Amino acid sequence: MLRTLSIRDFAIVDSLELEFHPGFTVLTGETGAGKSILIDALALTLGGRGDAAVVRAGRERADISAEFDIQPLPELLRWLRAAELEGDPGLVLLRRVIDKNGRSRAFVNGRPATQSQLREAGEWLVDIHGQHAHQSLLKPDAQRALLDAHAGLAPLAAEVAAAYRQWQKLAQARAEHETHAAERDAECEQLQWQARELEQLALQPDEWDAVQAEHTRLAHAAGLIEGVQAALDTLSEADAACLPLLSGTLARLEALLGYDARLREAADLIRSGAAQVQEAVYALRHYADRVELDPQRLAAVEARMEAIHGSARKFRLAPQELPQHLRQLQARLGELEIASNLEALVGQEQQARASYYDLAAKLSAGRKKAAVKLGKEVTQTMQQLAMAGGKFEVALNPYPPEGSVHGAELVEFLVAANPGVEARALAKVASGGELSRISLAIQVITSKAALVPTLIFDEVDAGIGGGVAEIVGRQLKTLGRERQVLCVTHLPQVAAQADRQWSVSKFGIEGRVKTMVSVLDQKARIEEVARMLGGTEITATTRKHAAEMLSLR
């Protein structure tokens, strides 16, 4: 939903800050006051075209910003996240600046963006009916999505899209198999001999470190035995060994404690040291019992190391990287084995193709029923909107047999605004007023399947009046219960149905023309509707009529 619109130095607008609300709002005022200019300004923030002519005379640049509530639009939130254009939670701010030299800049949530990014974001936010810019209903994708959503077929359409992508993925895999069979076979042969060599080597993940440690120990066994025995001699086994000396010293100090207790700390430290030396002696004897010279085991370990080094040199890897390399080879061989099974690939492709066609057939059947129903409902509504004899159709044009990600048919909205006229694509309707009213009829019928939260009608009352205008107003009011609806109108019958009414006026000050927008209370609305009814002279009768019209809304 559109929350605010800020306009600076745009056309005849000096400065405007507008705050919007849900429901149905009309913009009224004298011809030329600038009602449509406000819509044009908003269109710029949605990626519309603009040049230096839009800049207010004598000013440096036009600056327009529009803020929207996007909490109900998860797809737009995901798009902003992917484009790194996120802003405040649940909001998006679109801004457009055009300077007097025609240079244009775009911003999304304060970050520089492209005009196409503004346009893409705008397609989720606003439909402007009356001019062909920013009308999603003119686009085949939007027409298809609206038909599917209105008929409750969107989940099935998503299944069809997923099935089509899976089919195409398998078809591509099968085609690549046929194209690259020789290359794949050669790669497979090379990887197989590499994997066989590493499988025969059977190097375990932590084995290299263990082998290195064992080789170091075996290669220095004699030195280890000699060193351990020397340590034992020094600590406990020689004539002047450390441990007997410590024990004798401790005994003499303990005998002296009765004369001076202050020697206890030194005695305790010696006792602790002696205990630690004794533990070291136990550990050294335990080690000496297990270490031995083993030339045969040393030769076996050196042979193992040479085999590992040989494979590492061959594959140009560090020895400890060989187990991981084997796993990679085995994984790639598994992929090649799957890819080389043409028969399996063909079977999977055929199964995916059959699944797609089955789902697409169900979707087509649902679309055919929905197309007839929607065509009748919109046609009936058109009869009430000054298009008697007009007809609306939903054409389902078959795709080639291979189908598409969107199903087996192209959805296209066709319309004949007058009897005896051939139905043509909605985008080719010449009259802006007719296009607006047809769009209004479609939007009212499909309002529960809303795809765009804000609708703007700029020419919906062109060429109509009286009872038809009142019906148009009621339809807009009905639509406003589901969506945010803004309408530029000259007709009191339309204005009287609105939830809110803004008056757009222009005035001269210091030789310059400015536009002003006033939010009308009930009393001011009576005056404005009376003006719309009676022109420049407002009488008590027109005021009474205006009050009656407003009371009946």
Per-domain residue ranges for the chain? 1-131+494-520, 186-339
Which three-class secondary structure string do you get for 291-331?
CCCCHHHHHHHHHHHHHHHHHHHHHCCCHHHHHHHHHHHHH
Q: Label residue 155 by pLDDT band (50, 70, 90).
A: very high
* Domain at 1-131+494-520, CATH from 1.10.8.60, 3.40.50.10810, 3.40.50.300, 3.40.50.620: 3.40.50.300
- Residues 462, 407 contacting (CB under 8 angstroms): no
CA distances from residue 232 to 275, 288, 289, 292, 528 in whole angstroms, order as listed: 15, 10, 13, 17, 113
CA dist 243 and 271 (Å) reads: 11
DSSP state of 234: I
CA dist 497 and 474 (Å) reads: 6
CA dist 387 and 369 (Å) reads: 25
Q: Which residues pair with 485 in a beta bridge?
A: 24, 455
* Element spanning 415, H or E: strand 409-416
Tokens of 390: 């007009």
Closest CA to 137 of 435, 396, 459, 474: 435
Is the pLDDT score of 223 beyond 90? no
Phi, psi angles (nearest 5°) of residue 467: -65, -35
List Cβ neighbours of 44 (8 Å cut-off, separation of 6 or more).
Answer: 10, 50, 54, 62, 64, 96, 98
pLDDT digits (tens, 9 = 90+) for 333-379: 887 776 566 777 888 999 999 999 999 999 999 999 999 999 999 99
CA dist 214 and 301 (Å) reads: 8
More confident position, 32 or 80: 80
List Cβ neighbours of 161 (8 Å cut-off, separation of 6 or more).
Answer: 405, 406
Tokens of 100: 């007097």
Is the pLDDT score of 130 beyond 80? no
Closest CA to 546 of 507, 506, 493: 493
Is the pLDDT score of 388 beyond 90? no
Closest CA to 24 of 353, 495, 429, 534: 495
pLDDT digits (tens, 9 = 90+) for 313-344: 888 988 888 888 888 888 888 877 765 667 77
pLDDT digits (tens, 9 = 90+) for 493-521: 999 999 999 999 888 776 677 788 999 99
More confident position, 525 or 429: 525
In 78-219, which ranges are E strands?
91-99, 104-108, 111-113, 126-129
